């Protein structure tokens, strides 16, 4: 290992089994407690943003609120509708929860430390394809969503499941593309090495103070980071992309039939763990990983020993706070807007940025043919713009034509009030007040007033 940049791929795979078990249990416990803390933190923060107190009864500052909620959830009646496909219905919560935890196994928390006399990195494991593992786990999580919706055999659940999976796979493409620039810059897919590559650039000398140049990929690859920040909201079904649980139209979406028992708790758990995972990926790939940010990094001990774990979790809380902030600020988008944004904006932008960045990178290779590369870059930019304008104007024209047609139909309808097509009931119909007209009394349905059931 390199003492200044931290562990790399060669430092992994030497742990004895007991150490792996300790690390795995640690990650598991941290994620479980993290979910309890996350639920409380989100409710508390969003409350303060909306000028209310939020949970403040259970424990100090309401800190025990989510523990109480979890206990209550366990003591609720477990309802399994009789129409469900039992195997799929029971398997779905497990399928959705397990990959959510697994994605955290490649998250780097810190450099080499000594645990019970064994030198080991503060990371469960690392792979040559670590980021691919995170994406794969996100994809397997979609199976949980689809199967939960499908196995419930209820219209709301199946619609919610379809919507949710369509949204997640759409944003997964944009997410996967936003990583490409990071891999171009780092030249590796291993998370620990990507963190090592973000360790310190040069320094600027400002009035005798040495200010280090930003080496985070969030700054040098800003477009990728912005796209990733958007897709991580879409990928985890969070506001403003929380269409799957559009309460007004889909009740609870794919988990409608999972009542409020421990099975539902699995979905809740998976949702929050997924939020932590995408936040962790954001930190690892774009925000410098476990390295201390500038003012702290002046202190020499900041990036050694166990301290980096603290910086990592502080960053995690801050990114999570960003999620809450977005939730407090933005309304939910419409479904067609969501899909259009993912497919027509994020993907082409992403591809254009990747090619542009690759071209810039090729320019820096000394013996390359500069004129050729520049021509290539120009062709890419012009071609991209041409496609964009062509399709945009085409769609604009179509939209206007459609609007004009609808307007014309309205005009027609206004001229003939009888056959207007609007659902206005005729005013001379007999009204039904639970009392039928004389003569039809025998088979009449007796009205049951509400609340008497």
Q: At 183, list the tokens.
A: 């891999």
Identified binder of other proteins from the candidate list 35, 147, 243, 266, rule CB under 8 A = 266
Which of 45/166 has CB closer to other proteins? 166
Residue 210: φ, ψ to 5°: -95, 105
Half-sphere exposure of 425 (CA within 13 A, CB side): 5
Shortest reach from residue 261's CB to other proteins, in Å: 5
By CB under 8 A, how many residues form the interface with other proteins? 98
Shortest reach from residue 209's CB to other proteins, in Å: 34
Measured CA to CA, the distance from residue 158 to residue 97 in angstroms comes to 19
Residues numbered 302 to 341 that lie near other proteins (CB under 8 A) are: 335-336, 339-340
Residue 380 in the binding site for other proteins (CB under 8 A): yes
Residues numbered 392 to 421 that lie near other proteins (CB under 8 A) are: 394-395
Measured CA to CA, the distance from residue 170 to residue 174 in angstroms comes to 7
Identified binder of other proteins from the candidate list 5, 8, 65, 188, rule CB under 8 A = 188
**Contact at 8 Å (CB) between 170 and 159?**
no
Which x/- pattern over 87-116 shows residues binding other proteins (rule: CB under 8 A)? ---x--xx--xx-xxx-xx-----------
Which of 189/324 has CB closer to other proteins? 189
Residue 373 in the binding site for other proteins (CB under 8 A): yes
What is the DSSP-derived secondary structure letter of residue 60? G
What is the DSSP-derived secondary structure letter of residue 115? E
Which of 279/350 has CB closer to other proteins? 350
Question: Which span (198-206, 325-333, 367-375, 414-422) binds other proteins, by CB under 8 A?
Answer: 367-375
Identified binder of other proteins from the candidate list 251, 310, 333, 436, rule CB under 8 A = 251
Instruction: Work out the widest C-alpha separation in the chain, in whole angstroms.
Output: 101
Instruction: Kindly report the number of other CB atoms within 10 A of residue 208's CB atom.
Output: 5
Residue 365 in the binding site for other proteins (CB under 8 A): yes
Shortest reach from residue 129's CB to other proteins, in Å: 8
Shortest reach from residue 233's CB to other proteins, in Å: 19
* Chain position carrying tokens 């009204």: 431
Measured CA to CA, the distance from residue 6 to residue 193 in angstroms comes to 8
Residues numbered 116 to 155 that lie near other proteins (CB under 8 A) are: 124-127, 132-133, 150, 152-155
Residue 211: φ, ψ to 5°: -100, 120
Which x/- pattern over 427-446 shows residues binding other proteins (rule: CB under 8 A)? --------------------
Residue 297 in the binding site for other proteins (CB under 8 A): no
User: For residue 389, what are the CA distances in angstroms to 344, 384, 419?
Assistant: 12, 9, 42
Shortest reach from residue 107's CB to other proteins, in Å: 11
Residue 285 in the binding site for other proteins (CB under 8 A): no
Shortest reach from residue 17's CB to other proteins, in Å: 7
Identified binder of other proteins from the candidate list 145, 265, 281, 324, rule CB under 8 A = 265
Instruction: Kindly report the number of other CB atoms within 10 A of residue 398's CB atom.
Output: 10
Shortest reach from residue 294's CB to other proteins, in Å: 28
Shortest reach from residue 342's CB to other proteins, in Å: 9
Which of 32/317 has CB closer to other proteins? 32
Measured CA to CA, the distance from residue 1 to residue 109 in angstroms comes to 16
Shortest reach from residue 349's CB to other proteins, in Å: 13
Q: At 246, list the tokens.
A: 């559009």
Residues numbered 16 to 55 that lie near other proteins (CB under 8 A) are: 17, 20-21, 23-25, 27-28
* 113 beta partners: 120
Measured CA to CA, the distance from residue 292 to residue 298 in angstroms comes to 9
Give just the sign of the alpha carbon dihedral 114, 118, 124, 125: positive
Measured CA to CA, the distance from residue 4 to residue 310 in angstroms comes to 18
Of 383, 385, 382, 377, the C-alpha closest to 360 is: 377
Residue 187 in the binding site for other proteins (CB under 8 A): yes
């Amino acid at each position: 290992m390199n003492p200044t940049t931290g562990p790399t791929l060669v430092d992994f795979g030497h742990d004895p089994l007991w150490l792996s078990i300790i690390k795995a249990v640690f990650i598991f416990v941290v994620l479980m407690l993290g979910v309890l803390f996350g639920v409380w933190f989100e409710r508390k923060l969003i409350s303060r943003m909306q000028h209310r107190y939020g949970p403040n009864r259970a424990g100090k500052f309401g800190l025990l609120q989510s523990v109480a909620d979890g206990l209550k959830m366990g003591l609720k009646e477990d309802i399994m509708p009789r129409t469900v496909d039992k195997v799929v219905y029971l398997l779905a919560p497990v399928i959705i929860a397990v990959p959510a935890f697994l994605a955290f196994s490649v998250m780097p928390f810190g450099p080499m430390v000594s645990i019970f006399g064994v030198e080991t990195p503060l990371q469960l494991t690392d792979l040559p394809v670590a980021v691919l593992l995170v994406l794969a786990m996100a994809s397997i999580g979609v199976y949980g969503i689809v199967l939960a919706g499908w196995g419930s055999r209820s219209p709301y659940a199946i619609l919610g499941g379809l919507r949710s999976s369509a949204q997640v796979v759409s944003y997964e493409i944009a997410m996967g593309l936003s990583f490409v620039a990071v891999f171009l810059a780092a030249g590796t897919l291993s998370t620990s090495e990507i963190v090592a590559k973000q360790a310190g650039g040069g320094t600027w000398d400002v009035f005798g103070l040495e200010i280090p140049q930003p080496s985070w990929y969030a700054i040098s690859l800003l477009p990728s980071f912005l796209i990733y920040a958007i897709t991580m909201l879409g990928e985890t079904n969070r506001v403003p992309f929380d269409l799957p649980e559009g309460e007004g139209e889909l009740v609870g979406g794919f988990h409608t039939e999972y009542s409020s028992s421990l099975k539902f708790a699995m979905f809740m758990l998976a949702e929050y763990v997924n939020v932590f995972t995408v936040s962790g990926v954001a930190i690892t790939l774009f925000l410098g990983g476990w390295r201390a940010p500038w003012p702290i990094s002046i202190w020499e001990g900041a990036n050694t020993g166990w301290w980096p774990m603290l910086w990592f979790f502080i960053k995690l809380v801050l990114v999570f706070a960003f999620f809450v902030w977005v939730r407090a600020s933005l309304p939910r988008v419409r479904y067609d807007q969501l899909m259009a944004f993912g497919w027509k904006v994020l993907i082409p932008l992403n591809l254009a940025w990747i090619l542009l960045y690759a071209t810039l990178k090729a320019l820096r290779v000394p013996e390359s043919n500069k004129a050729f590369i520049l021509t290539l870059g120009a062709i890419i930019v012009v071609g991209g713009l041409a496609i964009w304008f062509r399709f945009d104007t085409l769609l604009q024209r179509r939209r206007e034509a459609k609007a004009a047609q609808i307007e014309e139909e309205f005009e027609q309808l206004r001229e003939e009030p009888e056959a207007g097509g609007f659902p206005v009931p005729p005013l001379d119909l007999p009204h039904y007040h639970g009392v039928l007209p004389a003569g039809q009394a025998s088979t009449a349905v007796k009205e049951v007033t509400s609340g008497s059931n």
